[in-house]
Amino acid sequence: MKTKLLVGLVCAVATTSSLAVNQSPIKIATNNWTSQIVLSHVLGQILTNSGHKVEYVSSATKSQWFRLGSGGLHVQTEVWQGTMADKFNGMVKEGKIIDAGAHDANTREEWWYPEYVEQLCPGLPDWKALLKCSKVFSSDGTDKGLYVTGPWGKPDQTRIRALGLNFRVKKVKSGDALWEELKKANETKKPILMFNWTPNWVEAIYKGKFVEFPDWTQECVSKPEWGLSKDYLYDCGNPKKGWLKKAVWSGMPEKWPCAFDIVKNMNFDNANIAKLAAWVDVEKMTAEKAASKWIKENKDKWEGWKTANCKS
Ligand code: TMO
């Protein structure tokens, strides 16, 4: 009796597509800002639904590159041009990771301030206004302004030096820590200059603007002699219409062909990314819950991301 049941069970499993799928877990990197975490869970739930095993591995963006290159991590759902293009392009060129395509979303990552700051520093959002009013952003009684950013590795010190700004940089640990600083400043309308990006939930809650630095060009970040400073790189802003890409470990197409196709086809626009981030940061859903809600409401979309490689 028992044996028969077992045989039946094995046959049932054998007829589903999952048997063809390599069952070692696909390790999805989760970083320290909300939309990336939710998108990772959306992908994870789709991969699980198509017969894969999935693990979420928390990783800082800085340390993820080596792990993605060596197969310790397999997927990154959000690579942002403004903060990660150099590392990403280098590793793609070396063949260590694969460029799995861009989302439709256009991105921008830049110095930003809430709207009430503008009257305290006339001339904003033009960056030159900051040459005169660093003191407005001081937190220690000196003329030196404070710029608050996260752990995503922009060469802000170099930019400050290149543009002759009188600012120092404070790095906090995560997106959440950054929003805590914003909330505190906003309560008393204290001037704050901080890193922000779009798409993000913040734009729906806090009015504000990005600082307009000299336009980003490839020369600005590769030729010191380009631009205002003849000695330093980064005398420009970040790209205003940056890309948002997916990256995978170079061994992924062979090991999990269906999952690789799903990652390639996975595609989010600005509105959906901002919405998913808001579900978590404004409506206080967990990332898992926000992802499963999106999955339920967008079946048509993600079913289309599966390919012939996903059917046995
Ligand atoms: C990578 N980030 C969206 C935090 O700028």
User: Is-contact 167 129, C-beta < 8 A?
Assistant: no
Query: Rounded mean pLDDT of the chain?
Result: 93
Q: How confident is the model at residue 19 (pLDDT cuts 50, 70, 90)?
A: low
Q: Which residue has better confidence, 67 or 155?
A: 67
Looking at the fold, whether 122 and 213 belong to one and the same domain comes out as: yes
> How many Å lie between the centroid of ligand 1 and the Cα of residue 237?
15
Residue 232 near ligand 1, beta carbon < 6 Å: no
Looking at the fold, whether 48 and 88 belong to one and the same domain comes out as: yes
What's the domain range around 86?
26-106+242-310
**Residue 58 burial by CB count (10 A; 0-12/13-18/19+): exposed, middle or buried?**
exposed
**Domain presence at residue 13:** no
* Counted domains in the chain: 2
Looking at the fold, whether 185 and 272 belong to one and the same domain comes out as: no
- Looking from the CA of residue 150, the nearest atom of ligand 1 is 4
Residue 109 near ligand 1, beta carbon < 6 Å: yes
Looking at the fold, whether 203 and 288 belong to one and the same domain comes out as: no
Looking at residue 8, what is its pLDDT? Answer: 45
Q: Which of 170, 188, 221 is the last residue of a domain?
A: 221
Average pLDDT over residues 52-77: 97
Looking at the fold, whether 194 and 262 belong to one and the same domain comes out as: no
Amino acid letter for position 183: K
**Domain presence at residue 231:** no
pLDDT tens digits for range 105-133 = 999 999 999 999 999 999 999 999 999 99
CATH code where residue 46 lies: 3.40.190.10
Q: How confident is the model at residue 20 (pLDDT cuts 50, 70, 90)?
A: confident
pLDDT tens digits for range 214-271 = 999 999 999 999 999 999 999 999 999 999 999 999 999 999 999 999 999 999 999 9
**Domain presence at residue 20:** no
Which percentage of the chain shows pLDDT scores above 90? 91
**Domain presence at residue 19:** no
Looking at residue 12, what is its pLDDT? Answer: 45
Looking at the fold, whether 303 and 264 belong to one and the same domain comes out as: yes
Which protein residue has the closest C-alpha to ligand 1 atom 4?
33
**Domain presence at residue 206:** yes
Q: Which of 221, 250, 275 is the last residue of a domain?
A: 221
Minimal CA–CA distance to 213: which of 112, 97, 116?
A: 112
**Domain presence at residue 297:** yes
User: Distance between CA atoms of 303 and 263, rounded to whole angstroms?
Assistant: 12
Q: Which of 189, 221, 253 is the last residue of a domain?
A: 221
CATH code where residue 152 lies: 3.40.190.100
pLDDT tens digits for range 27-46 = 999 999 999 999 999 999 99
**Domain presence at residue 169:** yes
Looking at residue 14, what is its pLDDT? Answer: 44
**Domain presence at residue 191:** yes
Looking at the fold, whether 99 and 68 belong to one and the same domain comes out as: yes
pTM: 0.91
Q: Which of 110, 152, 194, 244 to mutate to test the pocket of ligand 1 (most atoms within 8 A of CB)?
A: 152
Looking at the fold, whether 37 and 94 belong to one and the same domain comes out as: yes
- Looking from the CA of residue 36, the nearest atom of ligand 1 is 3
Looking at the fold, whether 159 and 257 belong to one and the same domain comes out as: no
The CA radius of gyration of the chain, in Å to the nearest whole number, is: 22
Q: 3-state class of 167 per DSSP?
A: strand
Average pLDDT over residues 187-203: 97
